[in-house]
């Protein structure tokens, strides 16, 4: 059965699902996304990735706030059979969710009930989890607590970055959503309740967290570097300049915390050390450490903050 679908999403993460829906037998009657923002320089208007894709595909776009007066009426006039939500960036008001004839189906980037909330990918890497995945679930009033129809897991290793995981899970999630919609359209859907006892929460990333603390272990610092790669980036201060580390490896070497230990930019931590491999100065492109050191000599014993 062909369904009329309203899609709600905003960043690049949402695009694979939108593409899958576009290529399916179902009809996207409207796309809701966050409104354009003004870039500080030149006041250039920036549309979301979903907005740009939808316009290019000739799909109707709505950037109104769901809490705006009369927006619910406009939404109901679309007469959707299903609403698909992927990283929309706005809490769905109760008046929408209480509609008994409508399912709000959400793609969440974790194996629920673990890592409910805003930053599940980053928190999984920071926590040094061995696996994560995606959950296709019903949206209910309580944050990410609705029953799920499908879950797919992926492994995390010590080199996995947030950026890599975002891409992998967005593609995996798109296919899982496609399968889930097939079950719903054929009346074969079976939703499973989450176990509240196992719930954990992935709070939003605070900028304070992104600074490297050299008193931490090398293992934890590398987890932070990977979790915040490419954005917002884990960083340290060198002569009052903020410098991001994009890639590093753990070295079995003792040294004073935060001090450069050799000419390969190995830095001491509380347990072992890290050797920096890729780096980025403020406002500059990323570069490997050999190129960085050619123009920025850091002598052994230099203290990093």
Structural domains in the chain, sorted by start: 4-202 (3.40.50.170), 207-295 (3.10.25.10)
Instruction: List the one residue out of 208, 225, 304, 217 whose CA is nearest residue 265.
Output: 304
CA 219 to chain centre: 22
pLDDT reported for residue 42:
60
**Terminal Cα-to-Cα distance of the chain (whole angstroms):** 60
Q: What is the mean pLDDT of each run of 10 residues along the chain (305 residues)?
A: 95 98 97 88 84 98 94 96 96 95 97 97 98 98 96 97 98 97 94 97 95 98 98 93 96 96 96 97 92 89 93
pLDDT reported for residue 38:
79
- Kindly report the pTM of this predicted structure: 0.94
* Phi-psi label, residue 293: left if phi above 0, alpha if psi -120 to 50, beta otherwise: alpha
pLDDT reported for residue 45:
85
Q: Which uninterrupted H or E stretch holds 137?
A: strand 131-138
| CA 206 – CA 95 distance, rounded (Å) | 31
Rounded to 5, what percent of the chain is helix, strand, coil?
30, 30, 45
pLDDT reported for residue 125:
98
């Amino acid at each position: 059965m062909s369904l009329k679908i309203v899609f709600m999403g905003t960043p690049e993460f949402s695009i694979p699902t939108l593409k899958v829906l576009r290529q399916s037998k179902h009809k996207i009657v409207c796309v809701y996304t966050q409104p354009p923002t003004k870039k500080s320089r030149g006041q250039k208007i920036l549309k979301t990735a979903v907005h740009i894709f939808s316009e290019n595909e000739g799909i109707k776009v709505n950037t109104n706030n769901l809490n705006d007066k009369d927006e619910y009426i406009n939404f109901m006039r679309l007469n959707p059979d299903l609403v698909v939500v992927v990283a929309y960036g706005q809490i769905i008001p109760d008046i929408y969710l209480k509609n008994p004839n409508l399912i709000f189906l959400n793609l969440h980037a974790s194996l629920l009930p673990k890592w409910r909330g805003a930053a599940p990918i980053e928190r999984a890497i920071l926590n040094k989890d061995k696996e994560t995945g995606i959950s296709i679930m019903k949206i209910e009033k309580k944050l990410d607590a609705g029953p799920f129809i499908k879950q797919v897991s992926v492994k995390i290793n010590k080199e996995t970055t947030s950026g890599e995981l975002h891409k992998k899970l967005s593609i995996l999630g798109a296919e899982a959503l496609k399968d889930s919609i097939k079950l719903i359209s054929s009346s074969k859907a079976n939703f499973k309740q989450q176990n509240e006892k196992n719930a954990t929460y992935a709070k939003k990333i605070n900028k304070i967290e992104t600074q490297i603390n050299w008193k931490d272990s090398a293992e934890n610092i590398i987890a932070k570097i990977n979790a915040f790669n490419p954005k917002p980036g884990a960083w340290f201060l060198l002569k009052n300049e903020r410098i991001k580390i994009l890639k590093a490896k753990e070295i079995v070497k003792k040294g004073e915390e935060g001090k450069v230990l050799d000419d390969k930019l190995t830095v001491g931590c509380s347990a072992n050390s890290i050797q920096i491999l890729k780096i980025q100065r403020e406002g500059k492109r990323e570069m490997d450490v050999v190129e960085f050191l050619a123009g920025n000599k850091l002598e052994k014993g230099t203290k990093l903050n």
